[in-house]
Amino acid sequence: MKILKFPLARIAIWFVLGILAAFYFEPNPLLSLICCGVAALFFGAAYYLSKKDFIQKTYFGYATYLVFFCIGSTTHAVHNEKNSRIHYVHTLDGHNHSVEVVLLEKLKSNPYSHRYIAKVTAIDSTIAEGKILLNIKKQNLPEEFQIGSRLLISGTIYEPKEPGNPHQFDYKKYLAYKSVYGQMYADAPAIQLSSKTEKSIWYYAARFRSTIIQNLKDSGFRNEELNVAVALILGQQQDISPELLKDYQFAGAVHILSVSGLHVGCLMLFIGFLLSPLPKTRTGTILKLVIVLVFLWIFALIANFSPSVTRSVVMFSFVAIGKYAHRKTNIYHTLLVSVFIILLFEPSFIFDIGFQLSYCALFFIVWLQPLFSSLWKPKNRVANYFWDILTVSFAAQIGTFPLSLYYFHQFPGLFFITNLLVLPLLGVIMALGVLVMLWASFSSVPSFLIKCLEWSLYILNKTINRIASFESFVFQDISFNWQMLLSCYLLLFAIILWFKKPNFQKLSFALVGLILFQLAYLGNEFSSKKQEELIVFNAKRNTIIAQKKGTEITVFSNQKLADQTMDFILRPYLVGSFSHITATEKIGNLMYFKQNKILVIDSLGVSPKSQQPDIIILSQSPKINLERVIRNATPKMIIADASNYRTDIERWKTTCIKEKIPFHSTVEKGFYSMSE
């Protein structure tokens, strides 16, 4: 690959590897700094020797890779907030404390609570630091708190829980990627609002967004279209309805709602158009560049520096510098420099799904789109315009296809139709939207502008809704793990390299990639088919037990499986284990798995004395004397699922500790699994 010949590309790869190594091994920051210093000495010596001989030595290259690997590792170690001695994670003891926080960011609310990212400043009047997820009950709360508000909360900081069921979304890991390691639940009476507000850049950005949104509401903007406009222009998706968000996902257009390169590029062109009257002198050019860069970074601030926005603004900042300095910029260099700079200041972005998808999409557009474009050269300008949209869409979709399957396990089959219909309209919406938002930052917007933008967004939403209605073209529940992800990308790169410049060596590489992908798929199929497993799920107010034999699963439940149970408990397990449900049955009192006899005691409390089970499952809070049951049945293990009352679970846990019987509560420890 041509890009790998760039020294900057190889440096960026080793820098990223250093960040990943530091994330998984968590070295001490001091040790990382020492290693970085030693690597810098080797690099200096290698540079001196190479320069002295006037020949680029191999060891100089290795020394360069080593020093950037250490820089990546040190960057992550230094940015890892848990390494701070005053971070609140060192005081997580499960007790109530007086916690002082400052609100940094408003998240999407749920039906019961307002949610914020907050910065801890003190615990029990002792200085502390770190970000937490704050959940404030809506009940008894007259109005939402503003960003920058200082709150004194009496409560407990909890460590986020790991997934309660197999293959579920790991919210704890997701928060950790954002340097959030704790969460609090608070009620309005337990909160004291300070009269002092921390007026940081986040405060002023939030005030600016609030001013724009309020002026748009005062101008009569319809609510649903307003929420989409705010997402498109300001990067705030909190108020978009779940139904509309689902339509965008099914239509393959959810990237439109995330402010990215398309939006930032439109903004830069629009600002450049407004500045066109300025003279083309050296002073005028410098002034244009400064104004463009200031506007781009103000926009990033307003959009809360989300990974996709930050990536786009950094990239277009380099593009703007090259444009106004009248220098031709290499898009690969711009891409690599933006990666390096962003990760140098925020290494955790490497784990952000949006960041990964953005860079994959952009790289494949730059690398693959010219190949598609060369297949046909329309002479008609209109046909050429739509052909470019189609080739860009296919290049981006091919690049993000493996990641989409890995993270979301679905693929929108009509993505190209969506882009053909939506992208021309989106250009109009972005230009009109930027104008409306700028106007709304000062006062109410004229009615004719509001109506034009409102109707444009209405047409956009209806188009998306119509495409999403063809659900048979949305391929869902596709099993795809990390082995298939890596082998799929290897196969993609090999095939594209062969298409660009066919020869026997590249064809062999493509065939090896195909074989590796087949081995990854067949290996998972083989291991899944030979696996046998019995799982007691962690399901509130319900008892769900699944018995897996190969790829076939029999589900036992004491009530009909609700859609929510299927979506959030069973479907992730089915997709993650490459399996499917073959039967659903009502739970009996006696089950067998391998050599284990399993007794299920439900609300009836039936416990036959003649049975000698190996495992007892307690469900639906049976009224039993557990000590007597243990003496009569002498089980090896007792399991209590989430259908029981917590008070009963705690009492049974105490009894099992007293009787020295292993006890597993799915509420506390998550699902229970027995496998071969």
Q: Which residue has the tokens 């952000």?
A: 352
**How many Å apart are CA 260 and CA 255, to the nearest integer?**
8
Is 119 in contact with 171 (CB distance < 8 Å)? Answer: no
pTM here is: 0.86
**pLDDT for residue 555:** 92
What letters, b where the CB count within 10 A reaches 16 and e where it falls short, cover 614-626? bbbbbbbbbebeb
**How many Å apart are CA 78 and CA 32, to the nearest integer?**
9
Q: Out of 53-57, 157-161, 651-655, which region has the weakest mean confidence (pLDDT)?
A: 53-57
Mean pLDDT of the region 369-391:
85
Chain centroid to CA 437: how far? 28
Provide the 10 A C-beta neighbour count for residue 45: 13
**pLDDT for residue 141:** 78
pLDDT band per the 50, 70, 90 thresholds, residue 676: low
pLDDT band per the 50, 70, 90 thresholds, residue 405: very high
Provide the 10 A C-beta neighbour count for residue 318: 17
Is 151 in contact with 193 (CB distance < 8 Å)? Answer: yes
Burial label, 447 (beta-carbon count in 10 A; 0-12, 13-18, 19+): exposed
Mean pLDDT of the region 607-616:
80
Length of the chain: 676
Tens digits of residue pLDDT in 446-478? 888 888 888 988 998 899 999 988 888 888 889
Give yes or no for residue 81 having a pLDDT over 70. Answer: yes
E strands, 311-378, are: none
Tens digits of residue pLDDT in 633-675? 888 999 999 999 999 999 999 999 998 999 999 999 999 998 8
Is 398 in contact with 415 (CB distance < 8 Å)? Answer: no
Instruction: Quote the Cα angle for 230-233-237, to 5°.
Output: 40
Percent of the chain with pLDDT over 90: 26
**pLDDT for residue 327:** 66
Q: Which residue has the tokens 């499986």?
A: 561
Provide the 10 A C-beta neighbour count for residue 37: 12
**pLDDT for residue 73:** 92
Percent of the chain with pLDDT over 70: 96
Is 652 in contact with 625 (CB distance < 8 Å)? Answer: no
Question: Which helix (H) or strand (E) is 293 found in, with range?
Answer: helix 282-302
Dihedral angle sign, alpha carbons of residues 462, 464, 466, 471: negative
Give yes or no for residue 404 having a pLDDT over 60. Answer: yes
Round the CA-based radius of gyration of the chain to a whole number and report it: 29
Give yes or no for residue 51 having a pLDDT over 80. Answer: no
Give yes or no for residue 29 having a pLDDT over 90. Answer: no
**How many Å apart are CA 117 and CA 209, to the nearest integer?**
17
**How many Å apart are CA 465 and CA 461, to the nearest integer?**
6
The torsion of the CA quartet 326, 329, 335, 341, rounded to 10 degrees, works out to: -50
pLDDT band per the 50, 70, 90 thresholds, residue 259: low
Is 552 in contact with 579 (CB distance < 8 Å)? Answer: yes
Burial label, 1 (beta-carbon count in 10 A; 0-12, 13-18, 19+): exposed
Q: Report CA-CA distances (Å) from 78 to 1, 15, 212, 318.
A: 33, 15, 37, 27
Burial label, 160 (beta-carbon count in 10 A; 0-12, 13-18, 19+): middle
Dihedral angle sign, alpha carbons of residues 588, 594, 597, 603: negative
Identify the DSSP state of 665: E
Mean pLDDT of the region 49-78:
81
Mean pLDDT of the region 66-72:
92
Pairing assessment for the beta strands 180-186 and 131-137 based on DSSP bridges? parallel
pLDDT band per the 50, 70, 90 thresholds, residue 101: very high
pLDDT band per the 50, 70, 90 thresholds, residue 362: confident
Return all residues near 38 (Cβ < 8 A) that are at least 6 apart. Answer: none
Give yes or no for residue 104 having a pLDDT over 70. Answer: yes
Mean pLDDT of the region 104-121:
88
Return all residues near 540 (Cβ < 8 A) that are at least 6 apart. Answer: 642, 643
**How many Å apart are CA 610 and CA 616, to the nearest integer?**
14
**How many Å apart are CA 288 and CA 298, to the nearest integer?**
15
**pLDDT for residue 2:** 60
Give yes or no for residue 541 having a pLDDT over 90. Answer: no
Please tell me which residue, 535 or 256, carries the higher pLDDT value. Answer: 535
Pairing assessment for the beta strands 131-137 and 580-586 based on DSSP bridges? unpaired
Mean pLDDT of the region 99-113:
88
φ, ψ for residue 373 (rounded to 5)?
-65, -30
Give yes or no for residue 328 having a pLDDT over 80. Answer: no
Is 570 in contact with 555 (CB distance < 8 Å)? Answer: yes
**pLDDT for residue 3:** 62
Give yes or no for residue 514 having a pLDDT over 90. Answer: yes
Pairing assessment for the beta strands 113-123 and 126-127 based on DSSP bridges? antiparallel
Tens digits of residue pLDDT in 221-236? 888 888 888 888 777 7
**pLDDT for residue 1:** 55
Return all residues near 547 (Cβ < 8 A) that are at least 6 apart. Answer: 533, 534, 553, 554, 556, 591, 593
Q: Which of 297, 251, 89 is CA-nearest to residue 175? A: 89
